[in-house]
Amino acid sequence: MSAPALERVTFSTPRDSGYTKIETLEKLTGQRAAEFGHVILKELIDNSLDECENAGAAPEVSVTVSAGGDGIKFLTVEDNGRGFPAATVAGFCDFNKSASDKSAYRSPTRGAQGSRASSPFRSRSASARPASSLRRRVSGTKSAGQDGWRKWPPCRPTSPHWYDSDALTGLISAYLAAGSDKALGMFVREFDGLTSTAKARKVAAVAAGVKSLSGFKGRPDRIGALLTEMTRQSRPVKAAALGIVPEEHYRLLIARLFGISHDRCWAARKEILHRGIPWAVDVVVAETERPGRVIYSTNFGVTFGDPPERASLRSGTWYDTRGAESFLRHAGAYPDDGNDQLRAAVVHVQCAAPRWTDTGKVALIVPADVEATAAEAFAKATKTLREERERLKKDADKEQRRQDREAREWQEQRRRAEREPPLKDAVRDLLTQAAEMEGEPFTRRRLYDMTREALTEVTSRPLTWRNFRQILDSYEGERSEIPGLVRTEEPAIVVDLARHPRGPTNCRLRRAISACPATRNCWRCMRATTRTRWAGRSTSSSGAGSPPSPGRSAGSGCTSAVFTTAGSPPAGRTRGRSLPE
């Protein structure tokens, strides 16, 4: 028997029921339930600042936080602006609709969440009057027009370059839904650069047969032609017109909150015009005296997260990161454990017509050319910290390579030491081989040179002259003397005197060779004619010098002689030359 089929029933749920569910509110605001109070406070303050700018007054905002029954908190925000119209307040109380005086317009305003921000507290909290409260007054903020400072206020007409066909269609539909069927000429003059009657007539002429906004119903092609003519008759707005925050303001903000260490603070600003929409990115980083944090803002309003968090920020061959936080971390400008939290940064993104990736309106949709411009601002502001971080990293890598190399060398020496015999045993083996050799006599110095040369094939341990004499004395004390070894303290050197005119009688060797009075090049001649051949003689044959060989005269031919320690120094000019033992 088969299971019965499910017959689904269509349920109808009121839209305002979603405002009573935590999960829905978290999706609408983009924040957790624990942050709802901050969401409300931010939205109310942003709206207050916008209204103060509309009134042309320096903002004076008073925030009251009070506790009610059942753990309910009440927020009261007062400002010196014009206040909301009664119709707007009534729209806030209707949770079946999304009431906002900013959603249909494309302009750089702070408050953009509409009734979503006030939804968690419902409308009944607006009339509550707490018995006691904690008041916080925010004043002294500079407004547009004060002290020559300029920004784009919410009441200023928007530019037609900030709209596309869909956005302009949405604006016209919003007017008609609100029961405002404006005349086409009046509608056109509400845009920046088209306030003159002459331009409004030229623009309206392209929409033949349309006298008011209701005339666009069923004629979407006319809206596209109207927008094209509006952009042709007006100029794009530059990013500077949105408002430039002085660098000194950022410095004062960071210094007041966290303190700046040794005036190490860097700032950068980059601007770009993307399809008629101006963008500007301000990046300020600093080394702080106290643990800092990163402050994000969009259009002069603080945000809860990273506005370009989904933007690809490529900085040459250095980084290819996504989002401001990732870039700051790679550059060493983000407060983390690596720098003891002693970093602070401000990232301010301005856009005349922002679009968002989430309903909480935190992450911006950033075009590719704007991403490249933002990356330049981040790279310029973090250049010093980035170069210092890379230099430290290179030094650390160099030190690590040195330690690794020393570790490998130590391991290699250890392995070789395990394979190699002890130095004393290796030398004694070579002395045994020397004792078995037959040939010309040799001195201890000659034996030392031969032994050290032979040791290179057996061990890597160095052999000094002192160690060799100790090993040699110990070897001969235990065994018989080595045949052919000459018992003299000075080496005997055989010199060819082919170019020496007077023979060996006037030359002397005793750790120094003096120049012969017969020639000033005696020492140079002797070095040039010295052959590496060793000979020995007994200590009893030492004398004033050896006579020339039979058949050879002292002044001609090539005479072979042995220089010893005996004899008197020659007269005349001498030059000392030190020789090894």
pLDDT in tens, 338-371: 889 999 999 999 999 999 887 777 889 999 999 9
- 555 Cβ contact list (under 8 Å, min separation 6): 501, 502, 503
134 domain-assigned:
yes
404 in a structural domain: no
Q: Tokens representing 84? A: 């909301």
Residue 443 lies in a domain: yes
- Torsion from C-alpha of 545, 550, 555, 561, nearest 10 degrees: -40
Pairing of strands 60-67, 294-298: unpaired
Among 132-136, 367-371, 493-497, 503-507, the least confident range: 132-136
Q: Which residues contact 341 (CB under 8 A, 6 or more apart)?
A: 291, 292, 335
Q: Are 47 and 83 in contact (CB under 8 A)?
A: no
Asked whether the beta carbons of 254 and 288 are under 8 A apart, the reply is: yes
- DSSP, collapsed to helix, strand or coil, labels residue 326 as helix
pLDDT number for residue 192:
94
Looking at the fold, whether 310 and 360 belong to one and the same domain comes out as: yes
Residues 83 and 132 in one domain: yes
**Residue range of the domain that includes 504:** 488-581
The CATH code of the domain that includes 317 is 3.30.230.10
Q: Which of 129, 111, 123 is nearest to 52 (CA)?
A: 111
393 part of a folded domain: no
User: Do both 460 and 556 map to the same domain?
Assistant: no
d(CA 47, CA 25): 20
* Same domain flag for 263 and 200: no
Residue 380 has pLDDT above 80, yes or no: yes
Q: Which of 109, 126, 148 is the last residue of a domain?
A: 148
- C-alpha distances out from residue 212 to 184, 341, 451, Å: 5, 59, 112
Stretch 197-207: mean pLDDT = 91
What single-letter amino acid sits at 97? K
Are 510 and 537 within one domain? yes
Pairing of strands 294-298, 343-351: parallel
Choose one of 388, 413, 435: the last residue of a domain: 388
Q: Are 121 and 33 within 8 A, CB to CB?
A: no
| Structural domain total, the chain | 5
DSSP tag of 481: P
Q: What is the pLDDT of residues 31-86, one digit of tens each?
A: 888 888 888 888 888 888 888 888 888 888 898 888 877 777 788 888 888 877 77
Tell me, yes or no, whether 570 lies in a domain. Answer: yes
- In whole angstroms, how far apart are CA 124 and each of 3, 45, 521? 50, 19, 116
Pairing mode of beta strands 260-274, 277-288: antiparallel
Tell me what pLDDT residue 111 has. 63
- Long-range (24+ apart) CB contacts under 8 A made by 520-526 are 523/575, 523/577, 525/499, 525/500, 526/495, 526/500
Asked if the model's pLDDT at residue 398 lies above 80, the reply is: yes
In a domain, 513, yes or no: yes
Say whether both 19 and 130 belong to one domain.
yes
State the Cα–Cα distance between residues 518 and 503, nearest whole angstrom: 10
Contact predicate 302/357, CB 8 Å: no
Reference 537, options 510, 562, 565, 509; nearest CA is: 562
The sheet with strand 530-534 has its strands ordered as 530-534, 493-496, 560-562
DSSP codes, 504-559: STT--BSSSBPPPTT-TTHHHHHHHHEEEEE----GGG--S-PPPPTT--TTSS--
The tens digit of pLDDT for each residue in 247-270 reads 999 999 999 999 999 999 999 999
In whole angstroms, what is the distance from residue 299 CA to residue 151 CA?
10
First-to-final CA distance of the chain: 114
Backbone CA torsion sign across 472, 473, 479, 480? positive
Task: Note whether 264 and 180 are same-domain residues.
Answer: no
Helices (H) and strands (E) in the chain, counts: 15, 13
CB atoms closer than 10 angstroms to residue 325: 18
Q: What is the CA radius of gyration of the chain?
A: 48
SS3 string, 437-452, reads CCCCCECHHHHHHHHH
**How far is residue 49's CA from residue 559's CA, in Å, rounded to a whole number?**
112
Residues 315 and 352 in one domain: yes
Give residue-wise pLDDT tens across range 267-323: 999 999 999 999 999 999 999 999 999 999 999 988 888 999 999 998 766 667 889
* CB-based burial label for 463 (10 Å; 0-12, 13-18, 19+): buried
Residues 572 and 446 in one domain: no
Q: Let me know whether 522 and 557 are in one domain.
A: yes
Q: Comparing 50-54, 77-81, 123-127, 202-206, which segment has the lowest mean pLDDT?
A: 123-127
Q: Which of 116, 148, 180 is the last residue of a domain?
A: 148
Q: Exposed, middle or buried by CB within 10 Å (0-12, 13-18, 19+), for 74?
A: middle
- 526, 518 contact by CB (below 8 A): no
Q: What is the pLDDT of residues 410-468, one digit of tens each?
A: 888 777 767 777 888 888 888 888 777 766 778 888 888 888 888 888 777 788 999 99
User: Tokens 């020397």 — which residue?
Assistant: 434
Strands (E), 275-394: 277-288, 294-298, 301-302, 312-315, 319-322, 343-351
Question: Do 260 and 170 belong together in one domain?
Answer: no
- d(CA 380, CA 267) in angstroms, rounded, equals 8
Q: Where are the alpha helices (DSSP H) in 178-232?
A: 184-188, 197-205, 220-232
Q: Is residue 103 predicted with pLDDT exceeding 60?
A: yes
Same structural domain, 102 and 224: no
Instruction: Assess if residue 411 is contained within a domain.
Output: no
**% of residues, the chain, pLDDT over 70:** 71
The helix (run of H) or strand (run of E) holding residue 139 is strand 134-139
Q: Phi and psi (nearest 5°) for 135?
A: -100, 140
* Bridge partners for 509 per DSSP: 513
What are the E-state strand segments in 378-523?
A: 493-496
Assess if residue 414 is contained within a domain. no
